Amino acid sequence: MNATTARWLNKVPEVTLSFWVIKVMSTTVGETGADFLAVDAGFGAGWTSIGMALLLAAALLCQLRSKAYTPWIYWLTVVLVSIVGTQITDILTDQLDVSLYTSTALFSALLAINFLVWYRVERNLSIRQIVTPRREWFYWTTVLCSFALGTAAGDLATEALGLGFTLGAVIFGGLIAATLVAWRLGLNTVLAFWIAYILTRPFGASLGDLLTQAKTYGGLGMGATWTSALFLCVIVLLVAVAQISVGNRKTLTQ
């Protein structure tokens, strides 16, 4: 099996600028989309959570059954994980009265445990080596934990600590930039990736709140409907380009 064939067997995309743009927008859609479905569309947190969980299960099944990276399946799963991750945190906070400090600590612990078990079993946390079903399960549980943690941490920073949406987005964006600089200076690539990946969630959540919340609450007042629609259009466009690119590459290798 040559290097080109092996690369197609990896179940996640190459980490490029497009990857990070879609990732941030997916995290923002997770925040705005959950709010739109639960509040604007009137489904409520309970029905939204059930419906999104079922859709996520279906998308994840398709992702796990696919033989190679398929952009539209992968990114659909990411968007649904983002929405479900947001709903998990919102239910804990709004319906079960769990403190954001507690939920942030809980999801941090779950994420750390997941990384520890993944590394002890596979001895490798690189997303360039997601080539077995077990590694893919570890990958998606990590993604779900990171989205739930990011939502809790983002709400903790912007609401509980009173930083506000703008300052929250600036702080988390600055931390991502600092991670990039550290990587350029020699920080381990796998470690840098996961730090940035985790930070994009609270950054996207803060950005989503900044765009959608009313001006009286420190937002720009765009609303969840228009923000979700705009970001989804950009995501669909970028994913379509990626899907076409994958198709062309497969044709060339046949």
Angle at 15 between CA 11 and CA 16, to 5 degrees: 135
Q: Is the pLDDT of residue 7 over 50?
A: no
Predicted TM-score (pTM) of this structure: 0.87
pLDDT, position 8: 40
Q: Distance (Å, rounded) from C-alpha 218 to C-alpha 144?
A: 28
For residues 128 and 10, the answer to whether their CB atoms sit within 8 Å is: yes
CA distances from 14 to 10, 100, 142, 170 (A): 9, 34, 18, 26
**Angle, to 10 degrees, between the axis of helix 133-155 and the axis of helix 100-122?**
160
Angle at 178 between CA 173 and CA 181, to 5 degrees: 130
pLDDT, position 251: 64
pLDDT, position 205: 80
Sequence spans of domains, the chain: 16-253
